Structure 1
Amino acid sequence: MSRLKARSTFVPYITMRKGEEPAPVTMLSASPARGLYYADEGPGDRDDRGVLWARCSQNRDGNAVLGEPRWKDVHPARQRECMEALLCQGCVQQPSKTDLGYLFIATRPADATSTDWIEGYRTAQPPLCLVHAKTAVDRCGHLLKRGAVALRSRVPRLYGVLGTYYLDRGLQPPEPIETDPEEEDVPLPYKTRRYTPWILASQLVRELRGVTVVNLEEEIARA
């Protein structure tokens, strides 16, 4: 949903803003025993599974996020906040939840020939309230192009992360590994312990279980 068209006056909470910049690679260190780490690491730098997260500045005035949106980019800390707590990615409030579960907006895989893909669908897009689900479907170029599907998940399980892998270079700062563009959107499962010490996470991924396809227009009309 971070790709809302410029005509929209609404900017999702997770969207990166101009002036927000990632911490330089020189702040990272690495060792064979620890993997990636920050020398001045604090409690918020790792998630509950021990994965290190990318640091990025924030343009904030209290609860307000300021600055011109960078529509194609997602802020790692704000995406993580919404995905961990299951908050609406648009307004960082409670998302829509019914007996069928939390509301997510998905895009149908290009090679899908049935609805089998919905169960176990993996997404880095946090849930949504009804208002901002409607906004996303109406104005998000990516969703308009590929076709939006409204899903409800009873069990949106934590699955893993998207991010950048690094190589240890001894006394020099660790070096990012170039990956195949087709693999950039392939999340690293938390259970893959061999690689989790070497990824700098930027987005949290959930796997949707107990999934039902719903009609968003009908739900909005009922509400």
Structure 2
Amino acid sequence: MNESALPALDEGQPSSAVSPPPSRPSVIPAITAWSNEQPEKTALIAQPRLGLTYQDEVSTDRDDDYALWPRMRIIPGSRRPEFTRVHPLRQRELMREMLCQVCHKEAAHDARGWLFLLPNARADWPGWPETMANRHPPLCEECVEPAAALCPHLVGGLAVRVKQPVLHGVYGTEYRLAPNGLVAIGPRTVSYEDPAMAWVLAAQMVRILNVCSIDEPLTAHLARSAMR
């Protein structure tokens, strides 16, 4: 319907028209899962000495280091972005290729290292985040602020430069074979060298952060931006 077909309102008269639905944010991180991106209904099976697999497993079900990943629909932009959910296969690509988790382009890196935004856990151990097992892909300079605003896990986070983000393994759900079939034990981070990886269905790729320094000026800028 065009504007000329709408009835005119007297000045001061409240409108009875239905409010338009809220618009999407202008920036939606590449790592974000959309509401139509759900797991495919494919049953896991177990081979007693080999671990988890699919009945019809294909090469794309595993990464280069042989971790098994969920089969997920890949249709970004479909329906609603769900900012509390990470798409496992996009997270894997971003982390392996060191791409920005927001814009999907090359992440920022210079003499200080690669740029990451991490939840503030400075009190966890002396020297944090040194040796941290990290599941958050890096960022480019332009996308740090949107990431801090949009990603629930990164609100109030710290900007960190990392010289040696070493590919380590995966975070996922560990299973065991019981008399009545597979049983989920719970979440676990496991290295690619650990034989237990055969019993983990990966959800996110993990890098160990070595030679780290907190970017205090950028962190302060993010804190000021959050207060506006």
Task: Give the TM-score range, shorter chain.
Answer: 0.7 to 0.9
2:184 corresponds to which residue? 177
- Report the AA paired with residue 54 of structure 1: P
- Report the AA paired with residue 80 of structure 1: R
> Is 1:151 paired with 2:153?
no
1:207 corresponds to which residue? 208
Q: Distance in 2 between matches of 1:53 and 1:141?
A: 24
- Report the AA paired with residue 8 of structure 1: P
SS at 1:136 equivalent: helix
- Kept in 2, the 8 Å contact 1:29–1:38? The answer is yes
Number of residue pairs matched by the alignment:
199
TM-score with structure 1 setting the length: 0.79
1:3 corresponds to which residue? none
> Is 1:14 paired with 2:31?
yes
Measured after TM superposition, the shift of residue 178 of structure 1 is 4.0
Q: Distance in 2 between matches of 1:113 and 1:198?
A: 30
Measured after TM superposition, the shift of residue 113 of structure 1 is 6.5
Measured after TM superposition, the shift of residue 137 of structure 1 is 2.1
Among candidates 40, 54, 59, match of residue 75 of structure 2: 59
Q: Distance in 2 between matches of 1:56 and 1:176?
A: 21
> Is 1:38 paired with 2:54?
yes
2:199 corresponds to which residue? 198
Q: Give aligned-pair identity as a percent.
A: 33
- Report the AA paired with residue 192 of structure 2: Y
> Is 1:123 paired with 2:149?
no
Q: Distance in 2 between matches of 1:217 and 1:118?
A: 14
SS at 2:90 equivalent: helix
- Kept in 2, the 8 Å contact 1:164–1:176? The answer is no
Q: CA RMSD in A?
A: 2.5
1:100 corresponds to which residue? 112
Higher mean C-alpha displacement, 205-214 vs 65-74? 65-74
TM-score with structure 2 setting the length: 0.78
Measured after TM superposition, the shift of residue 167 of structure 1 is 2.6
**Unmatched segments (≥5 aa) in structure 1:** 1-5
Q: Distance in 2 between matches of 1:30 and 1:113?
A: 38
**Unmatched segments (≥5 aa) in structure 2:** 1-22, 223-228
Higher RCO structure, 1 or 2 (CA under 8 Å, sep 6+): 1
Q: Distance in 2 between matches of 1:105 and 1:206?
A: 14
Q: Choose 1 or 2 for highest CA Rg.
A: 2
SS at 1:117 equivalent: coil
- Kept in 1, the 8 Å contact 2:171–2:204? The answer is yes
Deviations 1:126-185 (A, max 9, x none): 0001111111224444433xx311111111101121111223357x7x534143xxxx4x
1:23 corresponds to which residue? 40
Measured after TM superposition, the shift of residue 189 of structure 1 is 2.1
